[in-house]
A and B are shown apart, each in its own frame.
Chain A
Amino acid sequence: MTEFLSFLMNGVVLGLIFAVVALGFTLILGVMQVINFTHGILFALGAYFAFSMQKHVGFWLALILAPLLVGVVGWLLERLVIHRTYGGNPLFGLLLTFGLAMALEEVIRMVWGKAGYSVAAPRFAAGSLDLGFMIYSKYRLLLAALAILIILLVWLFLEKTPYGAIIKAGASDAEMVMALGKNLPRMRTFVFAIGSVLAGVAGVIAAPIWSVRPTIGTAILMPAFVIVVLGGIGSFWGSVLAGLIVGVSTSVSVMFWAQISDIIPYVIMTAVLLFRPRGLMGEKSVLEV
């Protein structure tokens, strides 16, 4: 029973990281209609930046600076190349970001090497905490709290600020937003940077529980994609819910039958889409009549 509880908790923590990554992914997809294959690499960069920085500036400062740096990388990618694909065939954006992702993964290998690093949890969060019903890793609890905080901040930003309203409006009718006087190219760049920051911050907080390798970007991208589709494209809480479902089902299935844990997310996605093509909480999909 305690073993099950700890797998369950690990699944929730994993799901919360997935949710943060997926929110950035779905934001970019929703506003720019770009399937952003660089999203995983931005996650990896967050982890690597934090790994390199923490020795010098400590955990908290790295938690702020590394995602901002990833945001700058995202901003540059968008300004230099990705913005050219908007409004064209969605395949262009997909292929371009796919190429960029492979190139950036090579850059990571060149800078940090092929080997993996393990990142230590900050000292104040080392060890375990007795929760009464179970004993659980302090760092994972911190990670869960940070992920929940980030999710709430993003929600508040989108729902309660004027800029969030413009982004939501842009996701439903970008041309109309522009006709009302909003600088659409600038808004898109900003959304891309925000999405990148979310990928980056997820990478930073996940680094201590995974080893940091060049391939973690690719490893996080597929679950993120599955989550966005499962939750319903453009749905905020759909992504959070689907993130938790994928995290928990992956983690708990390891306990019973480790070999299937990798395919569980796809099985769930397929099953849901068969009955509900729009995903759990998405708007009516183009697949539905």
Chain B
Amino acid sequence: MLVVEKMNTFYGDAHVLFDVSLEIREGEVVALLGRNGAGKTTTIRSIMGLTPPRTGRVIFKGENIATLPPYVIANRGVGFVPDNRRIFPTLTVRQNLELARKQGDGGKNGWTLEGIYEHFPALKEIEDRKGEVLSGGEQQMLTIARTLMGNPDLVLLDEPTEGLAPIMVMEVMKIIKELKEKGETILLVEQNSTLALGISQRAYILENGHVVYSGPAEDLIRNDEVKQKYLGI
């Protein structure tokens, strides 16, 4: 589904990603781990075209999307769930969702507003509330649901449990597990590697902008040495 080849990304003159390569196959959940500042968010932003890579290729469904503008990449089927949620504050919950609907076919799971409300009943109850008054947990639900409304073939999830109360963390993990069971393809960035590895098939670790480890999630769960070295646990 997605093959990233030797991607190099800069913020101005600052070289942040160095020859990052990774792969996600259809239906997989892949964890992208690493310490704060390792380059996880930048990797997602590069794939999305928000901070385009200076060199390297991003092959999505067989085509290089590395030079396309973000809205074209989104319409090709990449869904972006940002790390700080970025709900539109002046729109209602329902408007936030409807805005993200795209033209064309319903994608693999054919998400509709009704389908989203069935899956996230809490959002239906607050559908007329403005984004600015939502709690952190509600915003996190909404930002995931909003991206699903676009029926992406690949979902890039950046730290979905960050800053949430423990009970909401479990709720969000449950949602991601359900998406996995529905067959969504997901790149999951997480600080909490134990949680992420629990639902991923494979994992990559970034360190200072380099991919320093890749392998099956089960192997990494048992590899205390690597976890100690790169994740500090």
Interface size counted on chain B using CB atoms at 8 A:
23
Interface of A is mostly: helix
Q: Is B48 an interface residue (CB 8 A)?
A: yes
- A179 engages B90 (CB within 8 Å): no
Asked if B99 and A184 make an inter-chain contact with CB atoms under 8 angstroms apart, the answer reads no
The A-contacting residues of B in range 136-163, CB under 8 angstroms, are 146-147, 150
Most buried by B among A165, A172, A179, A183: A179
Q: Which of A236-286 contact B (CB under 8 A)?
A: none
**Residue interface mask B93-119, A partner, CB < 8 A = 1:** 001101110100000000000000000
Contacts of A181 in B (CB 8 A): 71, 74-75, 100, 102, 150
Q: Does A168 contact B (CB under 8 A)?
A: yes
The residue in A176, A177, A184 that gathers the most chain B C-beta atoms within 10 A of its C-beta is A176
- Which of B69, B70, B99, B146 has the most chain A CB atoms inside 10 A of its CB? B99
1/0 contact trace for A43-62 toward B, CB 8 Å?
A: 00000000000000000000
* CB pair A172 B88 closer than 8 Å: yes
Are the CB atoms of A169 and B99 closer together than 8 Å?
yes
Q: Which of A162, A173, A178, A184 contacts B88 (CB 8 A)?
A: A173
B96 / chain A contacts, CB cutoff of 8 Å: 169
> Is the C-beta of B204 less than 8 angstroms from some C-beta in chain A?
no
Number of interface residues of A (CB under 8 A): 18
Interface, chain B (partner A; CB < 8 A):
48, 50, 69-71, 74-75, 80, 82, 86, 88-91, 95-96, 98-100, 102, 146-147, 150
**A182 proximal to B (CB < 8 A):** yes
Which B residues lie within 8 Å of A175 (CB)?
Answer: 50, 70
A289 interface contact, C-beta 8 A:
no
Residues of A within 8 A of B80 (CB): 179-180
By the criterion CB–CB under 8 Å, are A183 and B71 in contact? yes
Q: Provide the bound-state CA to CA distance between A168 and B98, in Å.
A: 13
- When distances are taken between beta carbons in the complex, the residues of chain A under 8 Å from B70 are 175, 178-179
Among B69, B88, B98, the residue within 8 A (CB) of A176 is B88
Fill in one digit per residue for A160-173: 1 if any B CB lies within 8 Å of its CB, else 0: 00100110110111
Cα of A181 to Cα of B80 in the assembled complex, Å: 10
B residues in contact with A172, CB < 8 Å: 88-90
A55 vs B69: C-alpha distance when bound (angstroms) = 47
Complex Cα spacing A176 to B146, Å: 11
Find out whether the CB atom of A168 lies under 8 angstroms from the CB atom of B90. yes
Q: Chain B residues near A166: list those with CB within 8 A.
A: 99
Contact A165-B99, Cβ < 8 Å, known A172-B88, A179-B82:
yes
The listed residue (A171, A176, A183) touching B82 by CB distance below 8 A is A176
Asked whether, in the complex, the Cβ of A162 is within 8 Å of the Cβ of B98, the reply is: yes
Is there contact, CB below 8 Å, between A180 and B89?
A: no
In the assembled complex, the CB of A3 is this many whole angstroms from the nearest CB of chain B, namely 43
Q: A115 to B107, alpha carbons, bound, how many Å? A: 63
Q: How far, in whole Å, are A175 and B100 apart by their CA atoms in the complex?
A: 13
Sample of 7 more A-B contacts, CB < 8 Å, known A169-B96, A172-B88: A168-B90, A175-B70, A176-B86, A180-B150, A181-B74, A181-B102, A184-B71
A175–B51 alpha-carbon span in the complex (Å):
11
7 contacting pairs across A/B (C-beta < 8 A): A169-B88, A176-B86, A176-B88, A178-B50, A178-B70, A179-B82, A182-B99
Identity of the chain A residue whose Cβ is nearest the Cβ of B90 in the assembled complex: A168
Nearest Cβ distance between residue A156 and chain B, in whole angstroms?
14
Residues on B with beta carbons closer than 8 Å to the beta carbon of A176:
82, 86, 88
Q: Please tell me if the beta carbons of B98 and A180 are within 8 angstroms of each other in the complex.
A: no
User: What's the minimum C-beta distance from A202 to chain B, rounded to whole angstroms?
Assistant: 25
B91 touches A168 (CB 8 A): yes
Which of A166, A169, A180, A184 neighbours the largest number of chain B CB atoms within 10 Å of its CB? A180
